[in-house]
Amino acid sequence: MTALRRQLILLAFLVSVACANNPVAPHSANSVPAWLTALTHEVEAQPVANPPVLLARYDYKGQSVYFLPQQCCDVMGVLYRADGSVMCRPDGGLTGRGDGQCADFFVERKNERIIWRDARGPH
């Protein structure tokens, strides 16, 4: 399976997770929402990406957000709200600048915390 095809499969899954009616229990800054745990299991079911996939938590515009960086080429990274809905796609795509809905994300994000890293590959 090509890297691009793996990325497209991952992107399709991410869209389906974001669009699902998936209630999230309240969580602290140190806990991981259930939808995010499901997402990591889905990533682990795919071949190892290069670089390995990671998920990071940030404070952005007064809320906790979760960022799944782009893994390849024209595939966009995804920024999720705490409830699992997609806020925007800050990078990647044909222009490399995502969907333009949160162009200030990389400048304004604060308090990075890597909450998950695919342990199957090099770090």
Structure-derived torsion over alpha carbons of residues 24, 28, 34, 37, reported in degrees to the nearest 10: 150
Name which of 110, 116, 105 is nearest 32 in CA terms. 116
More confident residue, 23 or 40: 40
In this predicted model, what pLDDT tens digit does every residue of 62-114 receive, in sequence order? 999 999 998 777 889 999 999 999 999 999 888 888 899 999 999 999 999 99
Name which of 15, 27, 101, 18 is nearest 60 in CA terms. 101
More confident residue, 57 or 13: 57
More confident residue, 107 or 15: 107
81: three-class secondary structure by DSSP: strand
Determine the pLDDT at residue 122.
59
Determine the pLDDT at residue 23.
34
Residue with tokens 């990647």: 92
* Two structure tokens written together for 38: 């499901």
Per the confidence metrics, is the pTM higher than 0.85? Answer: no
